[in-house]
Amino acid sequence: MKVLVPVKRVIDYNVKVRVKADGTGVDLANVKMSMNPFDEIAVEEAIRLKEAGKADEVIAVSIGVKQAQETLRTALAMGADRAILVVAADSVDQDIEPLAVAKILAKIVEEEQPGLVLCGKQAIDNDMNATGQMLSALLGWSQATFASEVDIDGDSAVVTREVDGGLQTIKVATPTIISVDLRLNEPRYASLPNIMKAKKKPLDEKTAADYGVDVTPRLEVVKTSEPSERAAGIMVGSVDELVEKLKEAGAV
Amino acid sequence: MAVLLLAEVNNGELAMDATAKAVTAAKALGDVTVLAAGASAAAAGDAAAKIDGVAKVLVAEDASLGHRLAEPTAALIVSLAGDYSHIVAPATTDAKNVMPRVAALLDVMVMSDVTAVVDADTFERPIYAGNAIQTVKSSDATKVITFRTSTFDAAGEGGSASVETVGAADNPGLSEWVEDKVAESDRPELTSAGIVVSGGRGVGSEEDFKIIEALADKLGAAVGASRAAVDSGYAPNDWQVGQTGKVVAPELYIAAGISGAIQHLAGMKDSKIIVAINKDEEAPIFQVADFGLVADLFEAVPALTEKLG
Ligand SMILES: Cc1cc2nc3c(=O)[nH]c(=O)nc-3n(C[C@H](O)[C@H](O)[C@H](O)COP(=O)(O)OP(=O)(O)OC[C@H]3O[C@@H](n4cnc5c(N)ncnc54)[C@H](O)[C@@H]3O)c2cc1C
Ligand SMILES: Cc1cc2nc3c(=O)[nH]c(=O)nc-3n(C[C@H](O)[C@H](O)[C@H](O)COP(=O)(O)OP(=O)(O)OC[C@H]3O[C@@H](n4cnc5c(N)ncnc54)[C@H](O)[C@@H]3O)c2cc1C
């Protein structure tokens, strides 16, 4: 079985993002970019399936700007076998919507015929939490989102999902799409020799046009603004003072 | 314009708070029809009919809709979609599972976690863990939206909408439910509680989380946790507050032993009053706190429990 892992290049989760003064977006010039943390977990899970003999090949895919190559090299260094870069934007300020990403991924699935797609539950830039579900709809496949435990067994998968009420376990028919949550595993670091090896692994470069997908956004970003700031608070010196302040504020 | 709103139904019961908050958001867009779907959903439908501003309720009862599996639920919504300009839901994990699937089947984009309605096509939503607010305008024929409930007040009760039944769509039969692990609790629900008391890694163990729970119980509050506390096994996953957990905006949020990472702040910084208890005066949580106390939580939290109430 082949496993396809879509990985997105996003602002590193440690970076404090700044909204551009003219309201056109977030400042992406000269900030550290990394693989979306959820996608690292998806790559790790795919590699573990291969190590357990349940998968033969792990293919990482990224859709976006040319620089997403670095993200794919990271996936290869972790242990993915090959990568596909779909260049669909020429500026880092141009993000591709989940619907368009899902349409491109659907074409790649048709070509590659994976038994499983492992993606992140959400990308930490746009927090849309949509791509996996959309891809599943386009393919008419089953979906198992927000996974914290995955057990692949022949033509089905048993997946435990993190939901509002606690945990839900479902059984889905394969091929399937699983979107991974943070507690599924702890991704490995790529070792130096593996980083070197990754440079030689195959990385195919395509364009959105190669797949005949129109990536024109359906959502126009009218403006991007700073969230409202909280008024400065005060430090209290003791539990007694805290209780007094809370009572004054009518909070308790 | 007409809006179809997917009600949050758990085991046949309406989750009133989440649904009524989404109704408030949806009312601005047109006449609201609520869809109550489940293995049993009639009681939930009757409850939804009483929410102010609901024009009509559709009840779909079918075994395939029992555990809100994405495939049959999305198929049902798509079968009804033709009559509506907007298809919306509260941004629960159930809706986030289903709505993007609905959107893709309709060949439209989804807008997740919307926090404000500007007009029928234009919406605000937080991005980058709430560090920026984006205003987006949709050119799609049908708008598919989940509303972040913490930013809308619940619509009142007192309505009396008509209730109709509708049939389920064909079940694609791609998935089946195995089991739920749901913690039973007498405490208020995290996302609707007036007060939330949260503990972080600083609490140190599952055993010591009891001091957080004791304060919560004294205040009639819900209990929350940071991701580090959940990852370390001190607290269950459904207590997690933050970018990837629940978003809360109670009257009072008390954070003990939580450093204040942006991913945690994303889930609680719209709370009315924030109290931070941390032994490190440099902890970033103090930057958003209305009242900060530099103290050892093992002394401060039990003392607070004793002195309050
Ligand atoms: C800088 C910036 C500029 C923007 N500009 C515009 C604009 O001009 N017009 C506009 O309409 N919208 C714009 N947007 C918004 C944007 O198009 C979508 O809202 C956004 O893509 C939301 O989805 P997500 O990336 O959060 O995906 P999610 O659905 O949250 O991602 C889930 C998972 O899907 C996979 N995935 C997602 N994207 C990719 C990818 N590209 N390659 C591989 N795998 C992927 C990953 O596994 C990921 O973990 C912009 C956004 C940003 C950050
Ligand atoms: C993609 C992604 C998503 C994430 N999503 C979330 C999310 O949804 N929610 C979330 O919470 N985090 C999330 N995180 C994790 C986040 O970045 C932080 O790691 C996490 O919030 C830290 O939890 P903490 O504050 O409990 O622990 P720490 O940062 O370790 O802080 C512990 C604090 O306790 C204090 N302390 C220790 N002992 C005591 C004592 N005796 N008395 C008083 N104070 C004490 C310390 O001074 C310290 O400030 C996410 C991270 C990533 C990468």
pLDDT (tens digit per residue) in B226-276: 999 999 999 999 999 999 999 999 999 999 999 999 999 999 999 999 999
CB contact under 8 A, B104 and A137: yes
Which residues contact residue B210 at a Cβ distance below 8 angstroms, ignoring those fewer than 6 apart? Answer: none
In this prediction, the residues of chain A whose per-residue pLDDT falls under 70 are: none
**Spatial separation of the C-alpha atoms in residues A146 and A13, rounded to whole Å:** 19
Enumerate the domain spans of chain B. 2-166, 195-307
CATH homologous superfamily for the domain B195-307: TPP-binding domain (3.40.50.1220)
List the 109-168 stretch of B: residues with Cβ below 8 A of A. 109-113, 122, 126-140
Question: For the segment A84-128, what is each residue's pLDDT rounded down to a tens digit?
Answer: 999 998 887 787 999 999 999 999 999 999 999 999 999 988 888
CATH homologous superfamily for the domain B2-166: HUPs (3.40.50.620)
Question: For the segment B80-112, what is each residue's pLDDT rounded down to a tens digit?
Answer: 999 999 999 999 999 999 999 999 999 999 999
- Cα dist. A172→A126, A178, B95 in Å? 28, 10, 19
Q: Does B76 touch chain A (CB under 8 A)?
A: no
**Longest Cα separation, chain A:** 68
Residue B203 is predicted with a pLDDT of 98
Question: For the segment A183-193, what is each residue's pLDDT rounded down to a tens digit?
Answer: 999 999 999 99
| Interhelix angle B70-80/A131-139, nearest 10 degrees | 80
Ramachandran assignment for A242, one of left (phi > 0), alpha (psi -120 to 50 degrees), beta (any other): alpha
Q: Does B264 touch chain A (CB under 8 A)?
A: no
- Closest to A156 in 3D by CA, of B200, B161, B7, B178: B178
**Spatial separation of the C-alpha atoms in residues B47 and B89, rounded to whole Å:** 16
- Helix (H) or strand (E) holding B180, with range, is strand B175-182
Place of tokens 């033969």: A56
In this prediction, the answer to ipTM > 0.85 reads: yes
Q: Check: CB of residue A146 under 8 Å from CB of residue A183.
A: no
Mean pLDDT of B152-175: 95
List the 187-246 stretch of B: residues with Cβ below 8 A of A. 191, 195, 219, 227, 230-231, 236-238, 243-244, 246
Residue A251 is predicted with a pLDDT of 92
Q: How close A112 gets to chain B, by Cα (Å)?
A: 21
CATH of the domain at A93: 3.40.50.620
Ligand 2 site, CB within 6 A: A 13, 37, 124; B 200-202, 226-229, 240-245, 257-259, 261, 263-264, 267, 278-280, 283, 296-298
Place of tokens 């669909």: A88
Whole-model pTM: value is: 0.91
Question: For the segment B10-59, what is each residue's pLDDT rounded down to a tens digit?
Answer: 999 999 999 999 999 999 999 999 999 999 999 999 999 999 999 999 99
Q: Which domain, by its residues, includes A193? A: 2-248
Residue B217 is predicted with a pLDDT of 97
